[in-house]
Structure 1
Amino acid sequence: MNSQNLYDDPARLFEAFTNGNPNIPKPEFVSVTHVKRKAEHYAKEIFSCQRTLTHILERHEATIIKRWSKRSAEQRRKVLLQVLPGIPSTHRPDFQAMRKERSGKAARQVQLRDSWLLPSLNIEDLTKPKILPLFLRSRACNPPGVFVNADFNAVHFGTVANAIKVPYLSGYTMLLAGQNNEAVYGRLISWDEDPDAFDMMAKGTGMQPGEGLVVMEIQQRKMQFLLQCAQTILQDLPLQDIDVPKQPILKEIELGGRNSEWPTLTMEVVEAPYREPGGLDVSRLQTFVNARKNLAEDHIWFLREDPSYFHDTVLDWGEHRQERLLTAEGRTHPILRHDLFWERVLSNVIVEAYGDVIAWHGLSKELEILVEARAHCLNDIQPGHELPKNFARAHSHFSHYVGQVTKGALGKWKVGMVASPPLREHFVRAPQDPTNTKIQVTSKSNSHLERDYLLWLMERINMDDQVFLCGLENICDELEREIRSTPANRERVSPWIANLLSDLSLLAELKRQIELANPGPAMVEIVDEDEKMEYFAEKTKLLSRLFRLLTKPMGLASAALPLSKFDYPSHKRQNQGTVAKMQQAENALDAFWSKIDDHCAKEGGSSLHQLLEGVLMDRSLQRTNDWQQPEPQKVTTKTSNSVQDATTGLSALSFNTNIEEPVIPPQYGHARQKTKTRGQARESPPADVATENAVTAADDMGQKFTVSKRGLKVITTLFHTSSEEAEAPPGEIAWSDFLSTMASVGFSVKKLDGSAWLFAPAEADLFRRSIIFHEPHPESKMSFTVARRYGRRLERAYGWSRESFERA
């Protein structure tokens, strides 16, 4: 007898849900018998291929690597085409399929299913010498359950776009993770017979049967592909001969040989689908987050200390506002003719700088909570099992915090990308509605969607639904690849956009890393959305207070315009005239910040940096001393070390101090040598804060680094001090020389996406902290001005000076 209960009939239930929206795609409803039959078939194929592949690799892995590495890219391509005719040619073939199918609108008639289902099977990636050997080893040496989460996440794009139809079976949960033989892999458990069955699916330790079938199909197709690749490469050998002795397991370095290029985050992302999925690496997360937090702190202090940095930052933000766009008739925005435009720009610069440091400080603190929770239950975290509750809660809050910070970065992208000078010609602004300040922007034409891949990718980030559909980490990965592979595209990315892309990709990588801790795709979370929002609001009270305070009218334009008052000739040979001009610029900058500090004291009851106590470590600003005529020099003979070794201040003369001090922010005025002039000195910060921040020069007085002749040139530029009798300031530094020098003194160097590079101490206790520098863009050459800023950061972070280095 047919049940009258609507919930017993999935087809009727689905129709009831979609009465209000008939466009929702209808799933394929399948029977228990169908699912069991398919699962048994896939399991048998997966484990059979794995056994054969393992037998081959145990005896012939070295031969495969040797033969594959010796073949040209074209020869590898022919092997791949022989094994899988029609294999896509490019990385991320699912993105290409999306473009061809008009952003998923033609998903009902998908003709490129393999591009969506198996995006990792493509010629561009697999022809790299290292990728196929990695792929073979990881799938042969690990049970298929290890890859369930990674394989399902890889087709999120295709399933959400409805390019991959996911069958639906109600009343059952499929088990994959932790099921290590073909008899149980993909088995079904009934909700009626096992009271925990539904909860297992809801929490991610089990799967919806249709999703499980998709994963099993992916794994069966991959195992068949890999087995055929191995057989094709070794087609002249007796692969079934059991008398061939097993060979020692090769080390990781032997799989791909040495790479002369610097390691990159992009390559890690490219290799991830072909490796065994790693667990949550909290030390990696801490390296990223703390380095980015330190960068945010340095940005604030450069805005307060360096007039030229302040000037350039304000101009950059001004160029990336939508008021810069023309209307379709070629008209400019009326606000550009008024100081109100610069009032908005200056407010934006200040709010974003301080909001940034609070956000990354908060992320750092949430990560500390996560690390502590994980340490207490490390032995209870098992693959395929539910996370311990305390760790799951910390995990959920950290993930939510990352998501909220990402929303802020996406908001900046939506405003700035369309206004970016290299891309501005593709967009127009609607005539301004005088009743509100909102600006409407549209593309001039949609023709670029087919021919301009870079712009198409950038526009995905502008749309929330596309970010969800494609995955922010996938878009950033593909953007980075497109920029690096096409030199002309590098010119189309402004430094402001490159910096922001670095942030977006870093946040996306944090999200990807944190998801590695999940047992599988979960339907529910241990912390509901309301609780997460309440927790986040509590943790960001300071941010909300700061925003309200700094968005009140302050008359910033009157204090900053004209911007020419911040002309700061620190790059020129120093004499009485240049010193006077530098002091004038420093005075103007001090007066600007005094206006903000006075506003905060009046409106908020305390100075800006007093509000940030515990978040931002105070520093003594360095200012240019009055000019003094140098004494005549009796000895004129110069040596290779004739450059005066002194403090690496932003101005080129001697300064009051080169040691970071925890002090109340000084009264910014005309005093040349800054001291503690407002309030009493606060107590020293806790040991952990001091460790995360500056290392005083006294700590490293005995430390000496030996560098090459070229490295010494880099060092003397980074820590250069000019005087009237000194030679003209050094020229540009090649970015490659800077990387080599940093590596030679003990840093591991990694290219992140966008313009960011991460420099982490190769030895844990060597420098105590990592640091991020942005590569000059679009030219990979560091100007003297930028080099000295980087030298200043190195001095503050590690206590280094020119005296810390010597020629090899």
Structure 2
Amino acid sequence: MKDSREFYNHVSTREAIIDFEEELTDDLTIQEAQALAATHSKTIFEVRLLLKMVLDHHEDTIRKRWAKKASTKRREVLKAVCDDLPADHCWNIYAATMLLGLPVAEKEYLYGYLWPHLNVEDLIKGDNLPLLLNTRGRTPVCAFVYEDMSSWYAAFEKPLVKIPNHLDGYMILHNQLSLEFYGKVVPIDREKDGPENPQFVLADVLRKTGKYVHIGFGLAVLHVQEFTYRMLLAFCYQILPEMDDKTLIKGSPEGNIVNAEPPQIKPKIPSGEWPSLSAKLALAPYTGQEGANFDIAESLIQAECSKCEDFIWFLREDPEFFDMVIRTRYNTRQQTSHTNVTEIRQSWASILWSVVHDAYFIFVWWDCALKQFRKARAMRQEVADDMAKNPNCLPTDYETELRVVLMGMDNIKIFHLAGLSELCRNDASLRKVFNFHDMSKNPFMVKREYLHNKFANVLEALISPSTCKMFGIEATVHELDRLFLKDSGKNCMTPELQEHLGQLALSSEVTRQVFLHQPRLHRNNMPKDCRSISKKDSIRRVSRMCRQTLLLTNTPPNSELVILCSTGMPDKDRFLYPVDQPRTPEITKAMITAEQNLDGFWQTADKLFLNLSKQLEAMEGKPPAEHKPEKCAAAAAAGGGLHTLLKEHLKKPRELRRTAEDGSVAVSAFAALTLDGRRRRRKRFPPASGTEEPWRVPPRALRVVRALFYEPHPHEAAPDVMWKDFVFLMASMGFSVLRLGGGAWLFSARKEKVAREMLFQEPWEAEKEKMSPLVLREIVRRLEYHLGWRKEYFAAKK
């Protein structure tokens, strides 16, 4: 073991980069690779052992001293540890887009690529550095293989870092706790017969279990890990300068007493804020990767599926909401002004059909994803004993189901990426940022004057297929979420863009949970020929599950679309819905007229959808639905078409609000019919006490309740509430709050073994402005249906 004070008290990124480039050359032999791997592995284990000894005796002291230092003093300590450490947070995606088509003249980008979590800006924040010390010093080295590999993967893809790929063999890193096997190189001699060569057998086992790393990749991981551990040990020497080596490593002279490990640091949430998924992921390099939580993943899918269902019902129920959605879509997609009446009607018809298509399309996808995820969880319980006996081998059937889940998530991401692409092409504010004239080089080339706009560059990286493949959608979504509060992002952000980003953040978190559960499924870890199911077969499986989406892929003929336009085009106040005004005979009549117009549009859309269904069944050689008595009865009861799909797919009832002649709210006979002939009412949540007492909430929460359940009166206005007030109400009712990327919020609660999860999309700029009556109406109808809330259930705290 080298002398600690002379070798480990200082590190340099430039020297580390030079050593890295000198070692990994194109003429590297297999024997030299074995020697390098053995040297780096030995150094890593030695430094980690020294670091653990220091933490066993002085971790609490290090935490206290670091907490007392101001940011300027922290910068001085880090400068003494590594004077050329990157100063700013490494914008991985931003740095990559800055290099697209530009000459690479400086090597500064390379420092951030190899260890992006080691930079002054991030390390001086909060308890990031003590967290990094704790996880690296007290956790086996092999636990950070995936983290360190992904840290420089972008540099390899560019390529800024050259990895020798001519070496024929593998390196063992995963789940290796001893120096004997960690970093062991397994060469393959192809001159010998494969089945007779034991190295081939070992290599084949490593491939199938997903525990191999290519020699070049493995050497890069070892290099990154050595630099990280040396830097952390050098930091300990700088923060404890008065101690000699004996005291630092072996404790006080009075005795070699090992102190208990300090309690885990809980990252503090700033006052007035709520836990953020992006903030948790930003701490991942310092706190280590948490274990998989399939409950969170299933809750997210279930909440999103419920949100998509509520969106469709609200489109069917509220004329003002329907009018707002189609007008927003028209303003976003309309590029030229049509003068011909026929062209105008065709344009509106296309918009109307796209609204119907997108709403049902994404709903069916999420519902099928929920069923597939539950199927995989059920199979996981069946194979739990086999996985416990052989943790290195994943059952083929279980792996297949997980890959189908991932493929379903990928299709959802592709759908929303296409929506982002369309927005960037057609939206006026986003079209100023992107240049779409030269489509040969890069279809999303950022204009030169916007190269220094981080938001524009990150958005370009999210949409670009090559960059998306390099980093994965997960990283780009959360990098974008970091920019939401930046001034550069506010100029480009739109509600539609935020909606797509929220969906991407949600599907990305589900994907991340699956990868945390089984890292071998990661795209960089498992070779294609060792996967249990190919990509083509996965797509075929998912398509069979989502057969209903085939009915929406073919656009109806223009003649039928024009008929759809005649009932849904928002002209002449067709959908004027003054629900927030006091009830007068004129207001009541206007509301009834708007609701009748909306019902007329959906009846036309249902018939159109039913005709497409008959055509598809005829093409598949199956009798149309009208020849099946049971389907014919269900179609007649529910109105046919899309309405039938919605109710048959969910197998549960739903009621539409409709205005009666006296101004009261009633339920139409058409909408009240259910498949089983009965109505159901949601129970109160949280469950009510035996005495049926109201829920006591703070005055701020009660003000939100009054705004949600506001009934218009001539001399009374609804209270003004903002989004943060609604979040406060949900927290007051016992819901845990998690802010996802893209303005998506997950509220979950468990009371008396009854769970509820609800997903809401925060209105754009709602934190500064009061929420509109339309947004409040959408929220309250979801709360009424899913939680059974009523205004009379709430009262102020005594």
Match of 1:751 in 2: 739
The answer for the alignment partner of 1:223 in structure 2 is 229
| Partner secondary structure for residue 163 of structure 2 | coil
Number of the residue aligned with 2:534: 528
Matched, 1:718 2:708: yes
Match of 1:593 in 2: 602
1:463 aligns with 2:464: yes
Letter in 2 for 1:695: R
The correspondence of residues 227-238 of structure 1 with structure 2, limited to 5 A, is 227-237=233-243, 238=247
**Aligned residues of 2:706 and 2:719 also touching (Cα < 8 A):** no
Instruction: Measure how far apart 1:347 and its partner are.
Output: 0.8
Displacement of 1:136 in angstroms is: 1.1
Match of 2:20 in 1: none
Matches within 5 A, 1:414-563: 414-427=421-434, 446-484=447-485, 486-487=486-487, 489-516=489-516, 517-519=518-520, 521-524=525-528, 525-548=531-554, 553-554=560-561, 555-563=563-571
Partner of 2:15: none
CA RMSD of aligned residues (A): 3.1
Pairing 1:642-653 to 2, within 5 Å after superposition:
none
Alignment of 1:185-200 (within 5 A): 185-191=182-188, 192-200=197-205
How far the C-alpha of 1:370 sits from its partner, in A, is 1.5
CA deviations on 1:511-538 (whole Å, 9 max, x unpaired) are 2222221237111222122321221222
Q: 1:122 aligns with which of 119, 124, 133?
A: 119
Specify whether residues 795 and 193 from structure 1 end up closer, same or farther in structure 2 by C-alpha distance, changes over 3 A only: same
Q: What do the CA deviations read for 1:526-556 (whole angstroms, capped 9, x no partner)?
A: 2122321221222121211243376873322
Shift of 1:449: 4.5
1:705 aligned partner, one-letter code: W
Contact 1:143–1:180 (CA under 8 A) maintained in structure 2: yes
After superposition, give the CA deviation of every residue in 1:381-402 in whole Å (9 maximum; x if it has no partner).
Answer: 4797232222211111111111
Summarize the alignment of residues 148-227 of structure 1 with structure 2, pairs less than 5 Å apart. Answer: 148-191=145-188, 192-203=197-208, 204-227=210-233
Q: 2 CA distance for matches of 1:680 and 1:423?
A: 45
Question: Any idea what the Cα deviations from partners look like across 1:415-452, whole Å, max 9, x if unmatched?
Answer: 11332343233357779xxxxxx9x9977972144221
Question: Which residue of the partner structure matches residue 619 of structure 2?
Answer: none
Aligned pairs (5 A) from 1:241-640: 241-242=250-251, 243=255, 245-252=257-264, 254-257=265-268, 259-260=270-271, 261-321=273-333, 323-324=334-335, 338-381=344-387, 385-427=392-434, 446-484=447-485, 486-487=486-487, 489-516=489-516, 517-519=518-520, 521-524=525-528, 525-548=531-554, 553-554=560-561, 555-563=563-571, 564-604=573-613, 605=625, 606=635, 607=640, 608-616=642-650, 617-627=652-662
Correspondence for 2:763 among 776, 781, 786:
776
Aligned CA distance change for structure 1 residues 335 and 165 (closer, same or farther; 3 Å): farther
CA–CA separation in structure 1 for the residues paired with 2:444 and 2:106: 28
Asked if the contact 1:381–1:388 (Cα under 8 Å) also holds between the matched residues in 2, the reply is yes
CA contact (8 A) 1:575 1:723 kept: no
Deviations 1:310-336 (A, max 9, x none): 111112212222x42x7xxxx889899
Q: Who is 1:655 aligned against?
A: 665
Report the equivalent of 1:638: none
What's the counterpart of residue 83 of structure 1? 81
Q: How much does 1:699 deviate? A: 9.1
> Is the 1:108–1:163 contact (alpha carbons within 8 Å) kept by the matching residues of 2?
no
Change (3 A) 1:31 1:308: same
Q: In structure 2, which of residues 721, 730, 734 is the aligned counterpart of residue 742 of structure 1?
A: 730
> Could you tell me how far 1:47 is from its partner in structure 2?
1.1
Report if the CA contact (8 A) 1:130-1:256 is conserved.
yes
Counterpart residue type for residue 154 of structure 2: F
Q: Which residue of 2 aligns with 1:42?
A: 40
State the 1:193 CA deviation. 2.8
SS in 2 for 1:247: coil
Contact 2:551 2:609 in 1 (8 A): no
Counterpart-to-counterpart distance in 1, 2:269 and 2:259:
22
Equivalent-residue separation in structure 1 for 2:764 and 2:664 (angstroms): 31
d(CA) in 2 for partners of 1:319, 1:799: 36
1:135 correspondence with 2:132:
yes
Secondary structure of 1:733's aligned partner: coil
CA distance in 1, matches of 2:119, 2:150: 18
Answer whether contact 1:582 1:624 (CA < 8 A) is retained: yes
CA distance in structure 1 between the partners assigned to 2:660 and 2:211 by the alignment: 66
Q: How many residues align?
A: 717
CA distance in 2, matches of 1:49, 1:705: 57
d(CA) in 1 for partners of 2:611 and 2:322?
Answer: 24
Which deviates more, 36-45 or 297-306? Answer: 36-45
In structure 1, how many angstroms separate the alpha carbons of the residues matched to 2:740 and 2:305? 16
**Structure 2 CA distance, aligned partners of 1:615 and 1:70?**
59
> Within 2, Cα distance between the matches of 1:527 and 1:51?
42
Structure 2 distance, partners of 1:333, 1:410, is: 32
Q: Choose from 793, 798, 806 the match for 2:787.
A: 798
CA change 1:229–1:683 in 2 (3 A) is farther
CA distances 1:746-774 after superposition (whole Å, capped 9, x unpaired)? 111011111211111155834x2211111
In the superposition, the TM-score normalised over structure 2's length comes to: 0.83
Counterpart among 674, 677, 698 of residue 708 in structure 1: 698
What pairs with 1:673-688 in structure 2 (closer than 5 Å)?
Answer: 673-676=667-670, 681-682=675-676
Deviation of 1:171 (Å) = 3.4
Task: State the alpha-carbon separation in 2 of the partners of residues 137 and 530 from structure 1.
Answer: 44
Structure 1 length normalisation: TM-score? Answer: 0.83
Equivalent-residue separation in structure 2 for 1:572 and 1:103 (angstroms) = 55
Q: 1:239 aligns with which of 223, 248, 258?
A: 248
Distance change in 2, residues 1:71/1:303 (3 Å): same
Contact kept, 8 Å, 2:154 with 2:471, in 1: the verdict is yes
Tell me, yes or no, if the aligned pair for 2:653 and 2:674 is still in contact at 8 Å. no
Unaligned segments of structure 2, at least 5 residues: 1-23, 189-196, 614-624, 626-634
Partner secondary structure for residue 623 of structure 1: strand
1:50-92 deviation line (CA, Å, top 9, x unaligned): 1121122222222222222332333323322322222223333
Q: Which amino acid aligns with 1:290?
A: Q
Q: Which amino acid aligns with 1:734?
A: M
**Contact 1:92–1:478, Cα closer than 8 Å, also in 2:** no
Q: Does 1:729 align with 2:717?
A: yes
1:787 aligns with 2:785: no
8 Å Cα contact 1:201/1:208 also seen in 2: no
Rate the CA distance shift 1:778–1:488 in 2: closer, same or farther, 3 A.
farther
- Structure-1 separation of matches of 2:81 and 2:46: 18
Number of the residue aligned with 1:6:
none
Checking the alignment, whether the CA contact within 8 Å between 1:65 and 1:255 is kept in structure 2 is no
Cα distance change of structure 1 residues 717 and 224 upon mapping to structure 2, 3 Å threshold: same
Q: Which structure carries more helix by proportion? A: 2
The 2-side partners of 1:444 and 1:332 are apart by 29
Aligned to 2:753: 765
The code of the aligned residue for 1:761 comes to A
* Residue number in structure 2 paired with 1:641: none
Code of the aligned partner of 2:765: P
Asked if the contact 1:93/1:116 (under 8 Å) is kept, the reply is no
**Distance in 1 between residues matched to 2:114 and 2:697, nearest whole Å:** 50
1:756–1:775: 8 Å Cα contact kept in structure 2? yes
Residues 429 and 579 of structure 1, relative CA distance in 2, 3 Å threshold:
farther
Deviation at 1:488, TM superposition (A): 5.1
SS of 1:806 mapped into structure 2: strand
SS in 1 for 2:736: strand
1:335–1:341 contact (8 Å) kept in structure 2:
no
Contact 2:743 2:761 in 1 (8 A): yes
Check conservation: 2:274, 2:738, Cα contact below 8 A. Answer: yes
In structure 1, what is the Cα distance between the partners aligned to 2:140 and 2:199? 26
Query: 2:738 is paired with a residue of what secondary structure?
Result: strand
Q: Is the Cα–Cα contact under 8 Å of residues 549 and 603 in structure 1 kept in the other structure? A: no
